[in-house]
Every structure is written in C-alpha cells, then in structure tokens.
C-alpha cells in the first residue's frame, strides 16, 4: 500500500511538470550569418503561454556543439540569479540582462572562423523549460585580386602564364578568368586554395597562355562560396610586334602610327608637284603670248631710210660731196 501511495504522488508531479514545460518555448532563428572580425548575433527569445503570469528565468545555458549528440561546451551561463564567468568573446545581447528579460540572444563580439557551428540554448523558468539549436555561418570577404605574369616581361609570340591571387576570404571561393570579349577561360587554368591558421583562405590561380595569343586583356574575378562575384582585376597584354619579316602588320597600332604620317607627307608632296606643274604651264603660256611683240621690238632694222648712214647717222649726200 505504501508503494502504491508513492506512485500516486509521483504521477501528479510528473503531469504538472509536463504541463509546465508546455507553457514555455524557446524560439530561435534557425540560421544566423556572422562576418569575420565583427559582431554576430544568435537570436533567441523565451515565449510563454497566456496562462503564465510574470515568468522568471532560473537558468540559461548557451553551449557550442561539436556534433548533434554532443553535450557541448558552455560559452555563457546564468544560474540562481548569477551570471557565470562567460567564455571570452561571448555575452548576452542585452547589456543589462537579468532573469526577467525574455530575450536570451547570444552576442559574439569578435567573430572568428572557429565560432562557426551549432549552438544550443537551454532555458529553465519557474513555469517550465525548453531548449533550441541554432546555427552560425561565418563569412569573410576576399581581398581585391592581384595579377602578374611569368615571365614579368612577356615576349610576343612566346608562352607565358598569368597568376591571380586573393586572400582573407571564407568559406572557400573560386577564381575565374575572362577575356576582353567576356569569354571564359577558367577551364584552361589551375587553382590552389590554402587555409591559414585563422581559417581564412588564400586562392591562387594560374592561366597558361600560348604564344601568339590574340586577346589584349584578361580579367581575373573572385567569387565567394555562394557564387557571388566579390571583385576583379584586369591584366593588359603587351602590344603585338609592329612588323613581321619587314612587312607591316595590318591593323596594328604601330602600323597606324607609321601610315598616318606617310599619308600626310605623301599628300603634301603631291600638292607641291601639282603646284609646280601649274606654275610651269602658266609661265609657258605667258611666253607664247608675248613672243610676237618681243620680235618686233627687238629685231634689227633691215631697211635704211634713204639719205642716212646707219652707222654714222650722217647724210649720205654730204659724204659723197
């Protein structure tokens, strides 16, 4: 009889606890995004039913999980009205938080890659208890890429390699190559990703170019893990040689630089020749038109006027007399 009395007593207590647990619910945002080196917020609030008046939180425990079955490591705790010594970089989002505040959100003050993962929030109140798991995803923006060539000075019509580098990003991203006409060359490249001690990635991509490449520009673009382009850098190839076998290459910049002055000089020469030809023709026409007048004026007289000596201008009759 005594044992049956104990069972009768325990059963109502269990029922009361089950009912009370239904009065309290912890609601958390399923996934949170944090940025490397900045503050990250894991949002969680305690909701109670309308039957609960003036709830009081007795205990809060935030744990970082390494697996769903793991108990986790305590990063922030509150129990019996006192705040446990928090793990460095973790605190309640509300600066003056106490047991009456139903906002139990966790704030990570300086987010690192190691902070990424699942967190469990456990809450016990005087009206029941509940827990919820939420996830933090960490992101870090990649640096503006740098591009250089091997060899440093590319010799026309010889093989070369373009190298693109970007660092400080997370999660692992990709580097893609494009020419000046937006055609993609990524399949012709090789990319290497190295993770440093702080968890961030350094990306290096090498694009091999055969001699005689016809494109003057190649663009290296960095994309994050979600496929979004973060930044890009363009590398300009050296201009092609101005001549091949002593002949000008049509359409090349050097050919244009040479041809343009030649056209101008040739035009001036032709203009001068035409001017000289015109002057010669004008002078010849003038000479032809004045020739008869010159003949009459300059010709020596053939007839001597009677009675005069052409040499001495004396009358002939006087000489004879």
Same domain, 113 and 155: no
Pair (151, 127) in one structural domain = no
Measured between alpha carbons, how far is 59 from 48 in angstroms, rounded to an integer? 15
| Average of per-residue pLDDT across 116-126 | 95
Q: Are residues 170 and 212 in the same domain?
A: yes
What local confidence, expressed as pLDDT, does residue 21 receive?
52
- Domain range spanning residue 155? 146-239
Question: Residue 90 falls within a domain, yes or no?
Answer: yes
- What is the longest distance spanned by two Cα atoms in the chain? 207
d(CA 160, CA 213): 10
**Which structure tokens are listed for 155?**
């010799």
Answer yes or no: is pLDDT of 315 > 80: no
Checking if the pLDDT of 39 tops 70, the result is yes
Q: Are residues 41 and 127 in the same domain?
A: yes
> For residue 22, what pLDDT is reported?
64
The total of other beta-carbon atoms located within 10 Å of residue 268's CB is 10
Is residue 202 exposed (0-12), middle (13-18) or buried (19+ Cβ within 10 Å)?
Answer: middle
Residues 192, 122: one domain? no
Examine the fold and report which residue of 239, 258, 289 is the final residue of a domain before the chain moves on.
239
Q: Is the pLDDT of residue 18 over 50?
A: no
CATH number, residue 110? 2.60.40.10
What distances in angstroms separate CA 312 from CA 232, 308, 309, one per listed residue? 110, 8, 6
Which pLDDT score is estimated for 244?
Answer: 47
Instruction: Confirm whether 54 is domain-assigned.
Output: yes
Same domain, 66 and 29: yes
- In-domain check, residue 33: yes
In a shared domain, residues 80 and 132: yes
Q: How many Cα atoms are found within 13 Å in the side-chain-facing hemisphere of 96? A: 0
Q: Using one digit for the tens of pLDDT, what is the confidence trace for 148-192?
A: 999 998 887 889 999 999 999 999 999 999 999 999 999 999 999
The model's pLDDT over 44-97, given as tens digits with 9 standing for 90+, comes to 999 988 787 888 999 999 999 987 677 889 999 999 888 888 788 999 999 889
* pLDDT score recorded for residue 299: 47
Say yes or no: 32 and 133 in one domain: yes
- Among 139, 162, 193, identify where a domain stops: 139
Strands 117-125 and 128-139: antiparallel
Residues 153 and 222 in one domain: yes
In a domain, 263, yes or no: no
In the block, tokens 């010889």 appear at 158
Considering the domain architecture, whether residues 218 and 154 belong to the same structural domain is answered as yes
Please give the tally of structural domains in the chain: 2
Q: Distance (Å, rounded) from C-alpha 249 to C-alpha 253?
A: 9
Task: Identify whether 182 is part of a domain.
Answer: yes
Nearest to 26 by CA among 140, 129, 159: 129
Give backbone dihedrals phi and psi of 261, rounded to 5 degrees, phi first.
Answer: -65, -35
Q: Are residues 111 and 156 in the same domain?
A: no
For residue 226 the two structure tokens come to 């979600």
Tell whether 4 is covered by a domain: no
Residue 77 lies in a domain: yes
For 269-292, write each residue's pLDDT tens digit: 887 888 887 777 777 766 665 555
DSSP per residue over 196-227, as a string? Answer: -TTS-EEEEEEEEE-TT---SEEEEEEE-TTS
Query: Do 32 and 122 share a domain, yes or no?
Result: yes
42 close to 31: Cβ distance less than 8 angstroms:
no
* Domain end residue (candidates: 73, 104, 139): 139
Give domain status of residue 2, yes or no.
Answer: no
């Amino acid at each position: 009889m005594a044992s049956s009395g104990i069972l009768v007593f325990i059963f109502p207590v269990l029922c009361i606890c089950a009912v009370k647990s239904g009065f309290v619910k912890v609601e958390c945002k399923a996934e949170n995004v944090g940025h490397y080196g900045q503050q990250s917020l894991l949002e969680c609030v305690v909701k109670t039913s309308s039957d609960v008046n003036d709830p009081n939180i007795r205990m809060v425990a935030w744990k970082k999980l390494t697996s769903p079955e793991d108990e986790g490591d305590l990063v922030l705790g509150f129990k019996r009205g006192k705040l446990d010594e928090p793990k460095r970089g973790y605190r309640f989002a509300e600066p003056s938080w106490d047991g009456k505040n139903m906002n139990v959100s966790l704030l990570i003050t300086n987010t690192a890659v190691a902070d990424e993962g699942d967190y469990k929030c456990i809450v016990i109140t005087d009206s029941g208890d509940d827990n919820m798991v939420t996830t933090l995803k960490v992101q870090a923006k990649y640096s503006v890429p740098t591009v250089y060539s091997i060899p440093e000075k590319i010799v026309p019509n010889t093989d070369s390699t373009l190298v693109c580098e970007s660092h400080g990003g997370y999660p692992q991203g990709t580097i893609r190559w494009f020419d000046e006409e937006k055609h993609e060359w990524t399949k012709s490249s090789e990319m290497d990703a190295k993770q440093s001690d702080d968890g961030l990635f350094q990306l290096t991509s090498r694009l091999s170019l055969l001699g005689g490449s016809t494109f003057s520009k190649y663009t290296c673009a960095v994309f994050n893990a979600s496929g979004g382009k973060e930044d890009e850098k363009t590398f300009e190839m050296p201009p092609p040689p101005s001549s091949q076998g002593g002949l000008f290459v049509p359409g090349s910049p050097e050919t244009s630089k040479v041809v343009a002055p030649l056209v101008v000089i040739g035009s001036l020469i032709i203009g001068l020749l035409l001017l000289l030809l015109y002057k010669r023709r004008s002078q010849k026409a003038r000479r032809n038109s004045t020739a008869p007048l010159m003949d009459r004026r300059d010709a020596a007289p053939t007839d001597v006027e009677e009675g005069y000596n052409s040499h001495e201008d004396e009358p002939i009759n006087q000489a004879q007399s």
